[in-house]
Amino acid sequence: MPYSVLESNILTIFGLVTIPVAIALVAIFFIVYRYQRSLSLLGLPVGFLFLAISYTYLGIHLLYPYSGSLSASLMWLRVATQTWGFTLIAISYFSKSRAQMKLKYGFLSLSLLSIAIVVCLFAALLVINPAGMASVYADNSLFAAVNLIILTFILACVFRKIKLASGKSSGLLAAPAAFGLLWLGQLLFLLWDNFNGGYFSLLGTEIVRLISLVIFVFIYYSASKEVSTVDKQQTQQG
C-alpha cells in the first residue's frame, strides 16, 4: 500500500527508535537477572531479547523495503522471532511455579540455540531464495492473530499475579498497561492488514509498541535499582 515520502519516513523513524529502546530494555533485564535469578517481574529476559531481534529486523526492512529476497527474508525472521519471543514470555508465566530454576536454565540454553537457528535460517533464506517466500506478507495476519492469543494469555497471567501478589507490586501494576499496548498493536495491525485500516492504524502499531517498551524500561530500571540495593546490603551484612 503506497504512502507518501513523509508518511514512510515517519514509520521508519518510529521503527528505528524502537530498536535502541528494546536493546536497552534487554540490557536492564539482564542486570536484574544477574542479581536476582528469578521470574518475579515479567517473564524471561530471552523472550524480550527475541522481541528486540524482531524489531531490529523490522527496522532494517523499513530502511530497505524493496530489496527482493533480503526484504522477504527479513520479514519472515521478523514475524517468527516476534512470535517466539511472546511464546517464551508466555511459557515462563505458565511454568513459573513448576521447577523454576531447572526450567529457567533450560530456557536460556534453548534461547541461545534458537538464536543460532535464526542466523542459519536467515543465511539459508538468502542463499536458497525458495519460491513463494514473499508469501510472508500474506501470512502476517496469521502471525498477528497468534500473537493476540499469546498476549491474551500473558495478560491473564499478569492479572492473576497481581491478585495473588502481596507487598510491593508497582512494577506489576504497570505490566498490564505495557502488555495491553502490545496487544493493541497487534489488533491495529490486523485492522490495517485485513480491513483497510489505513495509514494511521499502521502508525498506531509503531506508537503503541514504543510506548509499551518505554513502560517496560521503567519497570525494569526500577527493579534493577531495587535488586542492586538489596544485593549491596546483603554483601555488607555478609
Residues 167 and 173: their CA atoms lie apart, in Å, by 12
Q: Over the stretch 173-231, which tens digit does the pLDDT of each residue have?
A: 788 999 999 999 999 988 887 777 678 888 899 999 999 999 989 887 887 777 656 55
Contact by Cβ (8 Å): 26, 48: yes
Q: How many residues does the chain have?
A: 238
Model confidence at 41, pLDDT cuts 50, 70, 90, reads very low
pLDDT at position 40, please? 44
**18 has a pLDDT exceeding 80:** yes
Residue 114 grid cell: 534458537
pLDDT at position 69, please? 63
Residues 56 and 87: their CA atoms lie apart, in Å, by 18
Query: 199: domain CATH number?
Result: 1.20.1070
Q: Is residue 237 part of a domain?
A: no
Q: Is residue 170 part of a domain?
A: yes
Question: Coil, strand, or helix at residue 94?
Answer: helix
Q: For 18-40, what is the mean pLDDT?
A: 76
Which residue range forms the structural domain that includes residue 97?
A: 5-223
Q: Domain total for the chain?
A: 1
pLDDT at position 103, please? 44
Residue 197 grid cell: 485500516
Q: Is residue 119 part of a domain?
A: yes
Question: Which range, of 10-14, 41-45, 62-66, averages the lowest pLDDT?
Answer: 41-45
Q: Is residue 208 part of a domain?
A: yes
Q: Is residue 228 part of a domain?
A: no
**53 has a pLDDT exceeding 80:** yes
pLDDT at position 124, please? 66
Question: Which range, of 109-113, 136-140, 230-234, averages the lowest pLDDT?
Answer: 230-234
As a whole-number percent, the residues of the chain with pLDDT over 70 amount to 63
Q: Over the stretch 152-167, which tens digit does the pLDDT of each residue have?
A: 999 998 888 777 665 5
pLDDT at position 67, please? 61
Model confidence at 98, pLDDT cuts 50, 70, 90, reads low
